[in-house]
Structure 1
Amino acid sequence: MTNPAAVLWDMDGTLVDTEPYWIRAETELLNAHGIDWSEEQGLEFVGNDLLTSAAMMQDAGLDLPAREIVDTLLDEVVAKIEASVPFRPGALEFLDAIVSAGIPCVMVTMSYRRLAEAVISACPEGSFVGLIAGDEVSAGKPDPEPYLKGAALLGLEPGACVALEDSKPGLASAEAAGTIAIGIPHLVELEQRPGRNLWSSLQGRGVADLQELTSQLSV
């Protein structure tokens, strides 16, 4: 059985679930400026890049520059991550199994670097050998650029790498890049189609599951 050359991890929704932290931070910021806003309304921001969410908050009446809004939200969410990291079920165990097998892992996320680094710092030392962050790419997911860069970081062809994703844009990015993409649905359903790999969870998964996929490609 053949190991993949590397595993490229999406962060939010796959490794961790920080969405409740974001919704709380956005709601608290709006409320602090006298704007009536609920966490239920905060669901409108899910999946947005930070500048888009900032623009929506300005539309709701928040009179602050977009960059200040983004920095304020990042400060709040990073502080929450440093206090407690909400790992997805089975994610840490799966990550440990991959690293123990000598397979390098790279994080490929649309989150900003300082947030991603806070999550990486909460993982066992040496879990990730590289990071592609959302504020460092010219085109974000669903464009293939993030995953192409993730593989290139290790000098690998994308087709030799497994990518783990929970979202439609993320899975589209990984597939377009030519990786062995695995979808693990979280907040949204992912469409089942021929040739697509979908897992219901990372719980109970191990290196043998990855080897099965890479072996199918080599047949």
Structure 2
Amino acid sequence: MSTRTPHDGPTTLLVIAKEPVPGRVKTRLTPPFSPAEAAELAAAALEDTLRTLLTLPARRRVLVLDGRPGPWTPEGLDVLPQSAGPLDERIAAAFATCTGPALLIGMDTPQITPALLAPVLSPGGWDGCDAWFGPAEDGGFWALGLAEPAPGLVRGVPMSRPDTGALQRARLTDAGLTVRDLPPLRDVDTAEDARYVAAAAPRGRFAEAHSRLSRAVAR
């Protein structure tokens, strides 16, 4: 995958993530995977996501990290620590570090591609648009873009619920914002999710790790 770092876009790209430590990430993959294997899958998903970001036009590329960088962290990123508090507070704090348009994505969708994000990052991506919203199939969201990244547009939205995405999108529209939608994507939470996402992005690091670890589990 290319690691070029174009700097010709107005948008700050944010990835919010946890350090892939066994027992702290992807716990719903256990079983069938061990905690160490689940952490390896998390690291592969995060590496795919970050390497895709490096191919995109952006003002800045920022990893907002709970933990420490590791071998899965490519060069070309700014790394900032996550704030304390629940997820809505951590997302709000990440947006508070930005000036101008910002697009935040998580670490659970390694199948993202430049084409998928092109509507946001094209020259006219923010024309007549205040926010971009990428719904997740589990009812959450995988992407949130704000032309003016006001933390109050996220703070207080309940997270990790089947209606989180609907509540977050309603927060945007209730504030009078014009919202455009990105396609829904499937997060990697369960073993079935991992199988589906690996098949959707078969050339990535995540698919390679999933194939190898699945063979080991089957033995």
TM-score (norm 2): 0.37
Greater C-alpha Rg: 1
The structure that is strand-richer by fraction is 2
